[in-house]
A and B are shown apart, each in its own frame.
Chain A
Amino acid sequence: MAMNCNAKGEVDGGPQCALGGAAKTRRPDNTAFKQQRLPAWQPILTAGTVLPTFFIVGLIFIPIGIGIFVTSNNIREIEIDYTGTEPSSPCNKCLSPDVTPCVCTINFTVEKAFEGNVFMYYGLSNFYQNHRRYVKSRDDSQLNGDSSALHNPSKECEPYRRNEDLPIAPCGAIANSMFNDTLELFLVANKSDPTPTPIHLKRKGIAWWTDKYVKFRNPPGEGALQERFKGTTKPVNWLKPVYMLDSEEDNNGFINEDFIVWMRTAALPTFRKLYRLIEWKNDLHPTLPAGQYYLNITYNYPVHSFDGRKRMILSTISWMGGKNPFLGIAYITVGSIAFLLGVVLLVVNHKYRNSSNTADTIAF
């Protein structure tokens, strides 16, 4: 306790504490750590290190940017706005709430055939799916097939929790506002034949695997879906109950993939959601050959009130995802700036190296 007796100077006589102090000195250890002499890397920025860095950054970024840009440009994408706000639009008639069900058809032309798998999206604009209270308005345990939650949904779902004393399944604002337009695609094979060929749109395989098989489950039970959902009611805005979303058993109820996709709330107010898959059959035929198409829309979903837009998007994908020129441009820009700076600094360095003695220590 030799260390302690100094702390109480009140009764302390002097700086030394113990009689046997000679053996135990308080000399600090002379180690690299304690003396703060640990090996350290102290980079000093010199023209010799900085200039090559700029050039290397430039030389790496520009090719990457070009690569990404080209890939993005090779992606085929067609976007059709069918909101119908313009009077000329075929869907204009559907804006009035009286016409139910309202079906409208939009013609469009594919100039160049789509190769590979084609993804069909519906896009919504100005739809704030990321609103805090909207995002929260769901009951994950209900969606996971928990039977108690099915009949007694979480409070988060309020006010879409109960309707007429029956629990809503699926509850909450997200489910309630589910996109319910139906889109169908037809190819007009040739001018001579007016009967359009429907394009096969695959309904399954559009949701994340983990969502479909882990997060979303139908309520347990033996009987038909309708039995399992007994005692619940459909969301207010829905036209039909949740067990009638699809005809197939493994794509119905909570594990309906359209429903799952909708429930994954979009990050930004303008978003697209995968609607259908157009599978690539074989090498001989393009998935969507060039030609005249028309889109059949069963118009249910109102977006007019919030100035929203509805779009149908057909797109192929590449290794980097959907069409987006931004990333390529960004890479090219940054690379160019770095390269340019490198050139400027090289000139500066070359010009002023001899005039100042600190040739190698131009600090940036």
Chain B
Amino acid sequence: MTEPLQWARYHWQRLMGGRIRSEDERLYNYSSLLACGGKSSQTPKLAGKQHRVVIPHLQPFKDEYDRFSGTYMNNRIRTTKYTLLNFVPRNLFEQFHRAANLYFLFLVVLNWVPLVEAFQKEITMLPLVVVLTIIAIKDGLEDYQKYTIDKHINNLVTKVYSRKEKKYIDCCWKDVTVGDFIRLSCNEIIPADLVLLFSTDPDGICHIETSGLDGESNLKQRQVVRGYAEQDSEVDPEKFSSRIECESPNNDLNRFQGFLEHSNKQRVGLSKENLLLRGCTIRNTESVVGIVVYAGHETKAMLNNPGPRYKRSKLERRANTDVLWCVLLLVIMCLTGALGHGIWLSRYENVLFFNIPEPDGHIISPTLAGFYMFWTMIILLQVLIPISLYVSIEIVKLGQIYFIQSDVDFYSEKMDSTVQCRALNIAEDLGQIQYLFSDKTGTLTENKMVFRRCSVAGFDYCHEENAKRLESYQEAVSEDEDYTDTLSSSLSNMAKPRAPCCRTVPSGALGNKFSDHLSGSTSAVGSGEGAGEVFHSRQAAFSSPIETDVVPDTRLLNKFSQITPHLFTSLDGTIQRPPLETLYIMDFFIALAICNTVVVCAPNQPRQKIRLSSLSGTPIKSLEEIKNLFQRLSVRRSSSPSLASGKELPSGVPSTFVSRLSLFTRMKLTSPMEEEVSPIRKSSQDCGNSACCMEIEKPNNNAAITDSKVESLPGLPLASNLCYEAESPDEAALVYAARAYQCTLQSRTPEQVMVDFAALGPLTFQLLHILPFDSVRKRMSVVVRHPLSNEVVVYTKGADSAVMELLSIVSPEGANLEKEQMIIREKTQKHLDDYAKRGLRTLCIAKKVMSDTEYAEWLRNHFLAETSIDNREELLIESAMRLENKLTLLGATGIEDRLQEGVPESIEALHKAGIKIWMLTGDKQETAVNIAYACKLLEPNDKLFILNSQSKDACEMQMSIILKDLQKKTPASPGQRSLRKGSPQPPITQNSGQRAGLIITGKTLEFALQESLQRQFLELTSWSHAVVCCRATPLQKSEVVKLVRNHLQVMTLAIGDGANDVSMIQVADIGIGVLGQEGMQAVMASDFAISQFRHLSKLLLVHGHWCYMRLSNMILYFFYKNVAYVNLLFWYQFFCGFSGTSMTDYWVLIFFNLLFTSAPPVIYGVLEKDVSADTLMQLPELYQSGQKSEAYLPLTFWITLLDAFYQSLICFFVPYFTYEGSDIDVFTFGNPLNTAALFVILLHLIIESKSLVYISSSSRIPVSISNSES
């Protein structure tokens, strides 16, 4: 009921807002989303209550329910604007928001005034009616589409408790109301905002995935309401007698406050930890029960849905001002007419011939007649304001969007998606972009952390095979189906690799490659003695196989295979020590596996992404099938004679040949299973890019060291699915890498970590302490008790700069070892530099062995630090420093966040096109700079300036120093000059040879964005060729965009893929979302969605250019044709006593815009090509004409107008002189004039067009002919 009111209020605000500041339209209320606890403007007032009370929607409480919750919205959603009944009035109301439509309405009304009536009343209405109808049809169709989607969502099924049947029954989403109990199973989507009352998880935890909502792809934990977690049995809705009181619906995703009041008045607090949000998906939890507190439009998800976006393009704003100029011109012309008529009439005051008296006989005075004439003239010359302009613009934009969307170059095979144009009316802005703000992760890069290289004990293992796998990854995926053939043929024909998928694979890695293909597993070469046979099969995971399937480096693998229990058994008694390197390798991999906060997913709860269309429970079913298949598989495996286990590898003899041999015996073994494997792959693919990794593993009974935890776990299934949930993708990448070397992280609990170490069997590390990662220390450490040596060991992992400083300087073991460490450090440093140069993210791994006493002492101090109240942070850091020192360097890793295909090329092209590119990332400086180099945002010989200061003054100092430095190099400082002028024109400093790059960190950015430093900062950036902002928060990102957009008055484009980019996407003139790993949030907020960054170059350079050129020329043409045509009428006024006579029929006048000259410009606007796509791509410089708005400058408008005046003069006066003094009558004079003008106007368009497409030229001719006959 309140809805229409709200709607009216909303539009009233929009109307007012639009009048006050057109800027406002582009600022969306994202700030309220970001700012915590901000006031929620959209909160519907509910019966004057600040809080809402939720009572179970069940019989016993019916009265109470009706009293409190009856008025709350139910879960039916309606995003459509219109209903069948209100469509006509509401659509008209909407449409008359347009100034142009109001103007024409005014004209229609004016024509009903008898004194000024120029045309027949009915005729004047026609154009308006036609225009309104076209737009209404368009709106109606759009709304109908929304309606079908709404209907689909409303009819989704969920399980709601029904008292009648005393169980949960299927129910449509739309029938869910506040107070209902809902039971959801794993992977189901939450239909409304629920308070979690029960979870099958023993700890009362439920995992949800919020990617649909905020784009974050990691799982979030939600907690059952306190007091309910302890209950063993499922909560019984019958017995639920508490009431929930919580805040009114608001759009703040991060806040939920309320309490649950039991019948005994005992209150339990509720927080956002207890709230399950609509649109999220239940993961890793078998089933949950919750009570609905917000439903439908009152859910946080819906309140955060801003609805359709209205942006007005720069071109349209430009056109609007020129429409105003046209209005001014019209007024001038009408004034001329009015004055002329007055003067003319005063000459013939008493001549009844011309000065026809009013019906009642009296004669109006010339002044009054002039006044009336003004309005008559406005009606007569109304054609000057192109009524069809707006309709035509809209149609043209639709056409342009259609062509953008059907460009096959934007199609991405992987995603099966092409470009999505979500904002229909700013396509031409794509041609005018001056500043581009890009996110890094996921936009420029694929957001797939791939383990690339590592250096252990001073030896670089470059993992060539892995690199090759990455290269051929794309091919390999598409060729999955053929692998059977490939396999057999290459087995028989090994020396001559022939199948495309093994083209790049050297024979040594062939086996790995195939086993990889075959089962998607890491190969189990050299499983060691007694280890039995391990057969891994992993499915394409949430992290895609490219991240998880690491192919081990053969060299390292060989060294790795030397690690046997022998080494350690002998370690105890004899003096013989294992080679130091081997120990390093072992420690290195243990560190990789345990020095993190990775969570191992519980086996039976696969994390599975499902789609809307597969909601009916099929994926779960198919998963079940997969599991069964795997089980069958492993049974078969274990019953078949195990060849590989018998083929024990001679330890300590690293031989490529042997390992290869072993591989191929395995291959033969696995080949009979192909039929089974392939359906598995297929079925799992069917469930989408699904998200789980499964391992089939035969329990390792021979393992020497038993682990109580594993065995105590009840019913550890044969098929276990391992899936790593990491805070950052790099961590997961390292764990996956370790697993590739048979060092598998098996489980993690707060007390211990279990690692399945290939040769040694499962090792259980007692977890003594974790020092989590923070950005100050840039490292993290775990303190464990090593199960083999029983020593306390600290494993540290961190940025190279942080770790290298902490290495032990004096080693207690003696000079020899010390020297060795030195060598390792030098070598590793070299490798690190090398990695960084290649754009890899580097991490150093180090360890330290402590004695128990040392540890005890540290722990005591640390405990003090933890419990202190003052300076706790500092004390903790100090304490960490005490632990993380005298480290022994083990090695380093290089992880690649792979650049997307074609990114450097695109960036180069966009640079050439004169677009300034800023990279705004939340990542750390080193990585950001690395990627900036890798994607050619920075060139190797660019001069880098780094702004990194801790205070505002320091920041100011730094900026002025850099500015001076820059100004010295180029004496003329255009930047300064222009900035002072107030209309800043960023100077382009490319000519000075050396380009400058500016790096600014988030902390410093905060200072730079402050009012007083803004100008200096902008000046500085205008000198820089590329700007990289690292460690920027989402809010900062949007502030940077806002700053540049508002202060430099430039067209900005923001591109990003994650929720953290949403704010900047919304603030920029054009927001582009990249369909990527991180959910839909960015796409939902964007104007255009593309699947890869490289598509941006064609989108801007070709389509942007075209759209801009076409539309601007079309708009200019509209002005031209209307001015040219109307002036014919105007000139005639000089020969008819300014009496407002039109020399043609009214119909011709009205149809001029609607019929005779409507189609050709539209066709021109859709199909015109001034330059071909290939040329535009090859010469990005052509884009600059759009940036400077060359096609449509204010001057261009006036020139066009002059041209129109000139042409209309010719069109009028040639017939005039021809017929001068003859017996020509009004219409006989008007018709040739009209026809000539039409021909000239249409020919003008043909001259304007650079290319005449067949259909466009053929459609023009009939129009002209039809008119000339009229």
Residue of B353, B354, B415 with most chain A CB atoms under a 10 A cut-off? B353
B344 nearest CB neighbor, chain A only: A128
Taking the complex as formed, is A214 at the interface, i.e. its CB lies under 8 A from any CB of chain B?
A: no
Question: Is A5 in contact with B1136, judged by CB distance below 8 angstroms?
Answer: no
Q: Mark B605-617, 1 if CB is under 8 A from A, else 0.
A: 0000111111000
A30 to B358, CA, bound (A): 68
Kindly list chain A residues whose C-beta atoms are within 8 Å of the C-beta of B278: 10-11
- List CB contacts (< 8 Å) of A220-270 with chain B: 264-270
Taking the complex as formed, is A130 at the interface, i.e. its CB lies under 8 A from any CB of chain B?
A: yes
A209 to B254, CA, bound (A): 86
Given contacts A128-B1139, A155-B359, contact A267 B403 (CB under 8 A): no
Taking the closest CB of chain B, its distance from the CB of A261, in whole angstroms, is 8
A270 to B609, CA, bound (A): 85
A339 to B359, CA, bound (A): 58
Taking the complex as formed, is A107 at the interface, i.e. its CB lies under 8 A from any CB of chain B?
A: no
Given contacts A9-B1083, A272-B1222, contact A132 B1139 (CB under 8 A): yes
Taking the closest CB of chain A, its distance from the CB of B295, in whole angstroms, is 14
Kindly list chain B residues whose C-beta atoms are within 8 Å of the C-beta of A173: 353, 356
Taking residues whose C-beta sits less than 8 angstroms from the other chain, chain A's interface range is 35 or more
A268 to B157, CA, bound (A): 77
Taking the complex as formed, is A191 at the interface, i.e. its CB lies under 8 A from any CB of chain B?
A: no
Taking the closest CB of chain B, its distance from the CB of A37, in whole angstroms, is 9
Q: B1141's contact among A26, A30, A132, A322, by CB below 8 Å, is which?
A: A132
A274 nearest CB neighbor, chain B only: B1223
Question: Is B418 in contact with A268, judged by CB distance below 8 angstroms?
Answer: no
Stretch among B18-26, B27-35, B146-154, B700-708 lining the A interface: B146-154
Question: Is A9 in contact with B416, judged by CB distance below 8 angstroms?
Answer: no
Question: Is A9 in contact with B411, judged by CB distance below 8 angstroms?
Answer: no
- List CB contacts (< 8 Å) of A1-17 with chain B: 1-2, 4-17
Taking the complex as formed, is A349 at the interface, i.e. its CB lies under 8 A from any CB of chain B?
A: no
Question: Is A131 in contact with B1141, judged by CB distance below 8 angstroms?
Answer: yes
A29 to B406, CA, bound (A): 7
A236 to B301, CA, bound (A): 81
Kindly list chain A residues whose C-beta atoms are within 8 Å of the C-beta of B416: 15-16, 21, 25-27
Q: A4's contact among B152, B356, B405, by CB below 8 Å, is which?
A: B152
Question: Is B1225 in contact with A10, judged by CB distance below 8 angstroms?
Answer: no
- List CB contacts (< 8 Å) of A23-42 with chain B: 25-30, 34-36, 38-42
Taking the complex as formed, is B1169 at the interface, i.e. its CB lies under 8 A from any CB of chain A?
A: yes
A262 to B1139, CA, bound (A): 20
- List CB contacts (< 8 Å) of B190-216 with chain A: 211-213
Taking the complex as formed, is B1143 at the interface, i.e. its CB lies under 8 A from any CB of chain A?
A: yes
Stretch among B434-442, B523-531, B1250-1258 lining the A interface: B1250-1258
In the complex, how many residues of chain B place their beta carbon closer than 8 angstroms to a beta carbon of chain A?
93
Kindly list chain A residues whose C-beta atoms are within 8 Å of the C-beta of B118: 132
Question: Is B1136 in contact with A14, judged by CB distance below 8 angstroms?
Answer: no
Taking the complex as formed, is A287 at the interface, i.e. its CB lies under 8 A from any CB of chain B?
A: no
Given contacts A13-B211, A268-B1220, A269-B1136, contact A27 B1254 (CB under 8 A): no
A131 to B1167, CA, bound (A): 45
A26 to B1217, CA, bound (A): 62
A289 to B408, CA, bound (A): 82
Kindly list chain A residues whose C-beta atoms are within 8 Å of the C-beta of B960: none
A1 to B149, CA, bound (A): 9
Taking the complex as formed, is A306 at the interface, i.e. its CB lies under 8 A from any CB of chain B?
A: yes
Stretch among A98-106, A109-117, A324-332 lining the B interface: A324-332
Q: A42's contact among B411, B415, B1091, B1252, by CB below 8 Å, is which?
A: B1252
Question: Is A11 in contact with B279, judged by CB distance below 8 angstroms?
Answer: yes
A26 to B411, CA, bound (A): 8
Stretch among A133-141, A180-188, A276-284 lining the B interface: A133-141
Taking the closest CB of chain B, its distance from the CB of A322, in whole angstroms, is 5
Q: B1139's contact among A41, A42, A131, by CB below 8 Å, is which?
A: A131
Kindly list chain A residues whose C-beta atoms are within 8 Å of the C-beta of B686: 19
Kindly list chain A residues whose C-beta atoms are within 8 Å of the C-beta of B281: 13
Kindly list chain B residues whose C-beta atoms are within 8 Å of the C-beta of A14: 609, 611, 688-689, 1080
Question: Is A159 in contact with B405, judged by CB distance below 8 angstroms?
Answer: no
Taking the closest CB of chain B, its distance from the CB of A104, in whole angstroms, is 22
Question: Is B1140 in contact with A34, judged by CB distance below 8 angstroms?
Answer: no
Q: A26's contact among B417, B688, B1083, by CB below 8 Å, is which?
A: B417
A41 to B1255, CA, bound (A): 11
Kindly list chain B residues whose C-beta atoms are within 8 Å of the C-beta of A161: 359
Q: B356's contact among A9, A133, A273, by CB below 8 Å, is which?
A: A133
Taking the complex as formed, is A158 at the interface, i.e. its CB lies under 8 A from any CB of chain B?
A: yes
A199 to B956, CA, bound (A): 105
Taking the complex as formed, is A96 at the interface, i.e. its CB lies under 8 A from any CB of chain B?
A: no
Kindly list chain B residues whose C-beta atoms are within 8 Å of the C-beta of A305: 348, 350-351
Question: Is B149 in contact with A19, judged by CB distance below 8 angstroms?
Answer: no
Question: Is A13 in contact with B1137, judged by CB distance below 8 angstroms?
Answer: no
- List CB contacts (< 8 Å) of A160-194 with chain B: 161, 173, 177
Kindly list chain A residues whose C-beta atoms are within 8 Å of the C-beta of B361: 159
Taking the closest CB of chain A, its distance from the CB of B1084, in whole angstroms, is 4
Given contacts A2-B613, A36-B1167, contact A133 B189 (CB under 8 A): no
Stretch among B570-578, B591-599, B855-863, B1226-1234 lining the A interface: B1226-1234
Kindly list chain B residues whose C-beta atoms are within 8 Å of the C-beta of A347: none
Q: Mark B404-422, 1 if CB is under 8 A from A, else 0.
A: 0111101101011110100
Q: Mark A317-358, 1 if CB is under 8 A from B, else 0.
A: 000011010110010000000000000000000000000000
Question: Is B1218 in contact with A12, judged by CB distance below 8 angstroms?
Answer: no
A36 nearest CB neighbor, chain B only: B403
A9 to B279, CA, bound (A): 9
Taking the complex as formed, is B1081 at the interface, i.e. its CB lies under 8 A from any CB of chain A?
A: yes
A178 to B883, CA, bound (A): 117
Residue of A1, A10, A13, A29 with most chain B CB atoms under a 10 A cut-off? A13
A141 to B1084, CA, bound (A): 64
Given contacts A131-B1141, A173-B353, A265-B1225, contact A4 B145 (CB under 8 A): yes
Question: Is A135 in contact with B1226, judged by CB distance below 8 angstroms?
Answer: yes
Taking the closest CB of chain B, its distance from the CB of A130, in whole angstroms, is 4
Q: A159's contact among B213, B357, B612, B1228, by CB below 8 Å, is which?
A: B357
Kindly list chain A residues whose C-beta atoms are within 8 Å of the C-beta of B149: 4-5, 7-8
Kindly list chain A residues whose C-beta atoms are within 8 Å of the C-beta of B406: 28-29, 34-35
Q: Mark B353-382, 1 if CB is under 8 A from A, else 0.
A: 110111111000000000000001000000
Residue of A28, A265, A322 with most chain B CB atoms under a 10 A cut-off? A28
Question: Is B1230 in contact with A267, judged by CB distance below 8 angstroms?
Answer: yes
Question: Is A13 in contact with B1141, judged by CB distance below 8 angstroms?
Answer: no
Question: Is A326 in contact with B1220, judged by CB distance below 8 angstroms?
Answer: yes
Q: A306's contact among B189, B353, B1141, B1219, by CB below 8 Å, is which?
A: B353
Given contacts A13-B211, A19-B686, contact A268 B1135 (CB under 8 A): yes
- A interface residues with partner B (beta carbon < 8 Å): 1-2, 4-19, 21, 25-30, 34-36, 38-43, 121, 123, 127-128, 130-135, 137, 155, 158-159, 161, 173, 177, 264-274, 305-306, 321-322, 324, 326-327, 330
Closest 3 CB pairs of A and B: A267-B1229, A9-B1080, A158-B359
27 contacts between A and B (CB under 8 A): A1-B152, A1-B613, A5-B152, A5-B612, A6-B420, A10-B305, A12-B1080, A14-B609, A14-B689, A15-B1075, A15-B1091, A19-B611, A19-B686, A28-B405, A36-B407, A38-B1254, A42-B1250, A128-B354, A131-B354, A159-B356, A173-B353, A264-B1225, A268-B1221, A305-B348, A305-B350, A326-B1217, A327-B1217
Supply 10 further A-B pairs (C-beta < 8 A) apart from A42-B1250, A306-B353.
Answer: A17-B611, A17-B612, A40-B1253, A128-B1137, A130-B1141, A131-B1141, A267-B1226, A268-B1135, A269-B1136, A324-B1218
- B interface residues with partner A (beta carbon < 8 Å): 118, 145-146, 148-149, 152-153, 156, 189, 211-213, 278-279, 281, 301-302, 305, 347-348, 350-351, 353-354, 356-361, 376, 403, 405-408, 410-411, 413, 415-418, 420, 609-614, 618, 686, 688-689, 1075, 1079-1081, 1083-1084, 1091, 1135-1137, 1139-1141, 1143, 1167, 1169, 1173, 1214, 1216-1226, 1228-1230, 1250-1255, 1257
